Amino acid sequence: MTTDPGISMAQSLDIQQPFYRDLNSEISLRNYQEELVFGVFEEWRSGKRRVMVQLPTGGGKTVCIGALVQYFVQQGLKVLAIAHRKELITQLSETLENITKLPIGKIKAGIPPAPHHNIQVASIQTLIRRQPFPEADLLIIDEAHHSASKSYTDVMSAYPNAYIAGFTATPTRTDGHGFLQTYDALVKGVTTAYLIEHGHLSQFKVYGGVTINTKGLKSSVGDYQKGALEKRAMAVVGDVVPAWRKYAEGKKTIVFAVGVKHSEAIAKAFNEAGVKAEHLDANTLDKEREQALDRFKNGETTVLSNCNLFGEGFNVPSIEAVQICRPTKSKIVHFQQIGRALRPAEGKPHAIIIDHSENWRYHGLPDTHINWSLAPISIPSNEFATKCSCCGHCFLPFPHELKTPVRLEKDEDGNLIPVYGITCPSCLTKLDYRKGAGIALEPDGNMEEERIEGKLMEIILEANPEYTKEIDAAIAKQLEKGHKRGWVFHHLLRDFSGTQFSVGDWRYVAHQLGYDLGWANYAWRDSQVFASSEF
């Protein structure tokens, strides 16, 4: 990466200048947005230059970005904002222009550059091909959960004096890498539950059940292998329209599919059933995509089925339902998908989430609290992962680490084997890595299973007052006898009505025992297994 040594001059920023929540005569920050922005300034003032900022989908992170940008440009400083998708670049540019009332330069293929503007919004793909980079005192990274990758870290390294703020709803990764080497601090915003409670996001109903079987599927790059998963998902396309008719008839709906063929098959099934539906994916021409979105927004199209397109940067508050036909191991994908329906709109009493997988149980419901962190999270064993010999952390090597071997070795047959140098993201130990030397578990023999019966049902989120009395009595007995908290779960199953509890009842148990609400999802599933084993 090349750049001018004077490319970032953030030392000229007066960080003590007052900050105002009224961004202009039309736009003001909400209280929680103001607190979030103040939190960023506090980290900067303490000397932590690179700050990751977390705010749930629908919380208004683009407005918070605009507040930071305005603070800099009002002092005559320059800003570079980076995103990785056209929709994000468009949304970010429009919001920044609306807040600052200044023209925006865009660094993107097919758009004439305007380097004289103090605010530049760039596609990361275009930016890394155009050097030297523009001057910037503030570097903004949108959807910053991507920013641990080499293209982003190279750009960040080119601005050693600039203030950096990376925004995301989900500061986590599926490859075992965290963000401790990328950011100095994490500022966490309010929870989705708070946004729902205060009317900034919609209430929701969830209908879940296992109709797409993932048992025995292998993983690749932190998620299910797409080809095998799509094959299984195709086997249950016939379930999609009936489920929609039962739970979301006539509702403006986004369907998330595994792959292009799967998405096309879903759209075809809707159309054959007399429901106007269209398919879009990342390869759809821009003009065709815009026209399809216009038809969806004005109600001409009821259902939009997509593959890897609307998880990020898609803001249509009138969406009433999402139908999840893509099982995923990624918490990022899960919360981005369900977040599409949570924006409030006139005439929408609640969002509808139809989940044909168990994503909701594995990753949580929209209001599940997650204790986000910059620290890496060890991933499950698979044939692509490696386990650190020093700390035991399991992770996937970065792609750029596997481009050039550090040496060649001979195997027992005399063949040359490349050895790559990788770094454990947890303890930073330097390790040798040989392709194909992962830590895969033995197959469980269930790869041939492609169809699993599992009817969809409403996931009841409210506790039954009759059962709360039983729960309170069980907890009182646990405290009296001095038992551990886990005793309550087994006692409720054996001696009370635990097998009949809804998720809402188990959420009440979780709250009373001080567990995270996500515990209730597993407790409910285990109670169903226990109930079925009694017969």
Q: What is the pLDDT of residue 10?
A: 52
* Residue 360 host element (H or E): helix 359-363
What is the per-residue pLDDT for 382?
66
Contacts of 82 (CB under 8 A, 6+ apart): 121, 122, 123, 124, 127, 139, 140, 141, 142, 152, 155
Close Cβ partners of 274 (under 8 Å, ≥ 6 residues apart): none
Backbone angles phi, psi at 527, to 5 degrees: -65, -35
Q: Is the peptide bond before 132 cis (omega within 30 degrees of 0)?
A: yes
Which residues lie across from 323 on neighbouring strands? 255, 354
User: Judging by DSSP bridges, how do beta strands 185-188 and 50-54 pair with one another?
Assistant: parallel
Instruction: Give the angle subtended at the CA of 385 by the CAs of 412 and 438, to the nearest 5°.
Output: 20
- Return the CATH number of the domain spanning residue range 10-190: 3.40.50.300
CA angle (388, 394, 400) in 5-degree steps: 85
Of 195, 179, 168, residue with least CA distance to 55: 168
> Nearest to residue 423, comparing CAs of 440, 436, 406?
406
CA 109 – CA 341 distance, rounded (Å): 31
- Residue 47 tokens read as 């000397």
Beta carbons within 8 Å of 455's beta carbon, 6+ residues apart: 209
Q: What does the pLDDT read at residue 313? A: 65
User: What pTM value is reported for the model?
Assistant: 0.86
Contact 439, 400 (CB under 8 A): no
DSSP codes of every residue in 455-521:
--EE---SPPHHHHHHHHHHHHHHHHHT--THHHHHHHHHHSSGGG--HHHHHHHHHHHT--THHHH
* 422 CB-side CA count, 13 A: 26
Per-residue pLDDT of the chain (535 residues; tens, 9 = 90+): 444 544 555 556 777 787 888 999 899 999 999 999 999 999 999 999 999 999 999 999 999 999 999 999 999 999 999 998 888 899 999 999 999 999 999 999 989 999 999 999 999 999 999 888 999 999 999 999 999 999 999 999 999 999 999 999 999 988 889 999 999 999 999 999 999 999 999 999 999 987 788 888 887 777 888 999 999 999 889 999 999 999 999 999 999 999 999 999 999 999 999 999 999 998 899 899 999 999 999 999 999 999 988 877 677 889 999 999 999 999 989 999 999 999 999 999 999 999 998 899 889 999 988 899 999 988 877 667 889 999 999 988 988 898 899 999 988 888 888 999 999 999 999 999 987 655 444 333 333 334 345 678 899 999 999 999 999 999 999 999 999 999 999 999 888 888 899 999 999 999 999 998 889 988 988 888 777 665 4
Q: On the CB side of 321, how many CA atoms lie within 13 Å of its CA?
A: 25
The whole-angstrom separation of Cα 305 and Cα 265 is 9
Report the distance separating Cα 114 and Cα 20, nearest Å. 29
Fold of 204-363: Rossmann fold (3.40.50)
Dihedral, CA of residue 256, residue 372, residue 148 and residue 175, to nearest 10: -60
Residue of 209, 188, 306 lying closest to 258 (CA atoms): 306
Nearest to 61 by CA among 85, 80, 79, 88: 88
Four-CA torsion 43, 45, 49, 50, nearest 10 degrees:
20
Strands 351-355 and 321-324: parallel
Of 310, 189, 201, 207, whose CA–CA distance to 255 is shortest?
310
Give the residue among 438, 397, 440, 439 at the shortest CA–CA distance from 420. Answer: 397
pLDDT at 436: 62
The one-character DSSP state at 274 is T
CB 345 within 8 A of CB 205: no
Residue 349: CB partners within 8 Å, gap ≥ 6? 202, 203
Secondary structure string (H, E, C) spanning 57-91: CCCCHHHHHHHHHHHHHCCCCCEEEEECCHHHHHH
